Amino acid sequence: MQTNINSVLKNLGILDLNPAYSTGNTWGGKANSVTIDSYSPVDGKKIAAVRVADKEDYETVLTQAETALIFWRNQPAPKRGDIVRQLGDALRIHKEDLGTLVSYEMGKSLQEGLGEVQEMIDICDFAVGLSRQLYGLTMHSERPNHRMYEQWHPLGIVGIISAFNFPVAVWSWNAALALVCGNVCVWKPSSKTPLCAVACQHILARVLKQNEMPEGISSLLIGNATGDLINNDKRIPLVSFTGSTRIGRKVSAAVATRFGKSILELGGNNAIIISKDADLDMSIIGAVFGAVGTAGQRCTSTRRLIIHEDIYESFKNKLVKAYGQLRIGDPLDQHNHVGPLIDKDAVDMYNQAIGKGKTEGARFVVEGGTLTGDAYNSGCYVKPCVAEVENHYEIVQEETFAPILYLIKYKTLDQAIALQNSVPQGLSSAIMTLNLREAEQFLSCAGSDCGIANVNIGTSGAEIGGAFGGEKETGGGRESGSDAWKGYMRRQTNTINYAATLPLAQGIKFDL
């Protein structure tokens, strides 16, 4: 495995890089600076050490970004789009290697790692088209011989703080849109997956260099301390943060204090309602993948199944049987369904959640636990588990980033929707039903209160064409498709007077 990953790193061009930061074509950091080690949760082996950026490195990056912004925002949007198109082409070339690195450094299955890179390619394609559609509105003026319209301008430097569970895709959601909108980007990735970030930055840096672009259009900063610097920096008008609700509150407060803008993608506590009119076989697939995909470490992972009482026992039995067929192990082995958690701290949180659930009265129909043995020597492998609970249990109201699925019984659809909505988070939701009335009620204003509401598909897995994000403690942010691009720009209303006189609005008279 180690020889294989070294080959992957070499193919990605990062085997000998040990940067604290990158401003594009330049990689830097002090040779004696503090380092962080990246360990794979797959086998517990150290992949590499990466230097950590200090405040001096941070200032180097910001200075380059400020200079690059002056050049980049003045390029025609389709020209900016062409650079992003080339990034998408480069990602196509490196899809297998980058997907493998994502799988090995983060622990998700190889299929999911490859899917994450495909998501990057898709957002680049979306952004290329968007670069010719940064449209504004035209309005009729109340004053004769006047024209009113609005246009959108880039905000400036966009700070991107991403999480370990999607170490490359979330950066691309932000970067592709921010770049075509005329912004420059400064990226602080998770310190748990720094090599994935280095690989992405290296791929984009080559594209920028081939096009003779200046330093600083896209920059990378390694190390947790740089997050606070970004959040409190008035030179960065927008911070896009993906992570826990707890940290998101701090980010939001820091950015708002300086009147900056933030895009927050925080916790999820997602439910699927299983109707008595559901296709149960299809529902099982959606529920199991939603609960165990990425080992339950997606913000859109399915945490709760709200099941109609008439089919509760039969569906539970189907679910238990399906869980018995799951294969847990090396995520690079495509025969396995479930890989490891990101690290041993995550395993501890998983075990604590199980203990707390049992204390509150949860009855586990599929028992959990930590896996041991040669195949699981990293200490990061756990058993996906299923528990019968009441929705009001404290542990059920929380988001646990692990493959723990809670079963809840309901009588009426109104009750099911109320159960689904009665958690602090509001990211993703779904209903499995062949009943049109149920589906429409679920999607109505009296239905799901989440930013994402699906019918006959699960809670996890989002296409880039739609805006991604949620309500309540999920933060209210929107990224990716639809008109999410507007979050990276500032709106300006313009009025042009082509008359020989100066009439005032509202009929006001002011004669000299």
Q: What are 152-190's pLDDT values in tens digits?
A: 999 999 999 999 999 999 999 999 999 999 999 999 999
Q: Average pLDDT in the 490-498 region?
A: 98
Dump pLDDT digits (tens) for 181-229. Answer: 999 999 999 999 999 999 999 999 999 999 999 999 999 999 999 999 9
Dump pLDDT digits (tens) for 348-401. Answer: 999 999 999 999 999 999 999 999 999 999 999 999 999 999 999 999 999 999
Q: 319 with 394, same domain?
A: yes
Would 501 be classed as within a structural domain? Answer: no
Would 496 be classed as within a structural domain? Answer: no
Q: Which tokens belong to 347?
A: 């395993």
DSSP secondary-structure letter at 15?
A: T
Q: 43 with 111, same domain?
A: yes
Would 274 be classed as within a structural domain? Answer: no
CATH code of the domain in which 341 resides: 3.40.309.10
Tell me how far apart the alpha carbons of residues 373 and 86 are, in angstroms, rounded to a whole number: 45
Cβ neighbours of residue 74 under 8 Å, at least 6 residues apart?
none
Q: 343 with 375, same domain?
A: yes
Opening angle at CA 187, ends 184 and 188, nearest 5 = 155
Identified catalytic residue from 105, 265, 399, 438: 265
Q: 388 with 294, same domain?
A: yes
Q: 427 with 300, same domain?
A: yes
Would 310 be classed as within a structural domain? Answer: yes
* pLDDT of the residue at 29: 87
Q: 309 with 252, same domain?
A: no
* pLDDT of the residue at 461: 84
Tell me how far apart the alpha carbons of residues 116 and 102 are, in angstroms, rounded to a whole number: 8
Q: 361 with 487, same domain?
A: no
Q: 301 with 259, same domain?
A: no
Q: What is the DSSP string of 319-382?
A: HHHHHTT--BS-TTSTT-SB---SSHHHHHHHHHHHHHHHHHT-EEEE---B--SGGGTTS--B
Based on the residue annotation, tell me whether 265 is a catalytic residue of this protein.
Answer: yes
Q: 453 with 481, same domain?
A: no
Q: Which tokens belong to 500?
A: 């020989």
The number of residues in the chain equals 512
Would 154 be classed as within a structural domain? Answer: yes
Tally of domains within the chain: 2
What's the Cα-to-Cα distance from 408 to each of 191, 307, 390, 393, rounded to whole Å? 36, 6, 6, 11
Q: Are 204 and 176 in contact (CB under 8 A)?
A: no
Tell me how far apart the alpha carbons of residues 155 and 164 are, in angstroms, rounded to a whole number: 27
Q: Give how far the C-alpha of residue 225 lies from the chain's centroid of Cα atoms, to the nearest Å.
A: 21
Domain residues for the domain of 249 are 2-266+475-491
Sign of torsion, CA 342 343 346 350? positive
Q: How confident is the model at residue 18 (pLDDT cuts 50, 70, 90)?
A: confident
Dump pLDDT digits (tens) for 82-140. Answer: 999 999 999 999 999 999 999 999 999 999 999 999 999 999 999 999 999 999 999 99
pTM: 0.96
Would 502 be classed as within a structural domain? Answer: no
What percentage of residues in the chain have a pLDDT greater than 90? 95
Q: 218 with 307, same domain?
A: no
Tell me how far apart the alpha carbons of residues 376 and 328 are, in angstroms, rounded to a whole number: 9
Of 200, 209, 16, 207, the residue nearest 95 (C-alpha): 200
**Residue located via tokens 């040669």:** 374
* pLDDT of the residue at 508: 92
CATH code of the domain in which 15 resides: 3.40.605.10
Q: 250 with 382, same domain?
A: no
Q: Give how far the C-alpha of residue 207 lies from the chain's centroid of Cα atoms, to the nearest Å.
A: 24
What's the Cα-to-Cα distance from 215 to each of 73, 85, 295, 397, 489, rounded to whole Å? 14, 19, 38, 46, 22
Q: 218 with 329, same domain?
A: no
What's the Cα-to-Cα distance from 482 to each of 15, 95, 124, 239, 485, rounded to whole Å? 38, 25, 14, 20, 8
Stated as kind and residue range, the H or E segment containing 7 is: helix 2-12
Q: What is the DSSP string of 403-444?
A: SEEEEEEESSHHHHHHHHH-SSEESEEEEE-S-HHHHHHHHS
Would 144 be classed as within a structural domain? Answer: yes
Would 500 be classed as within a structural domain? Answer: no
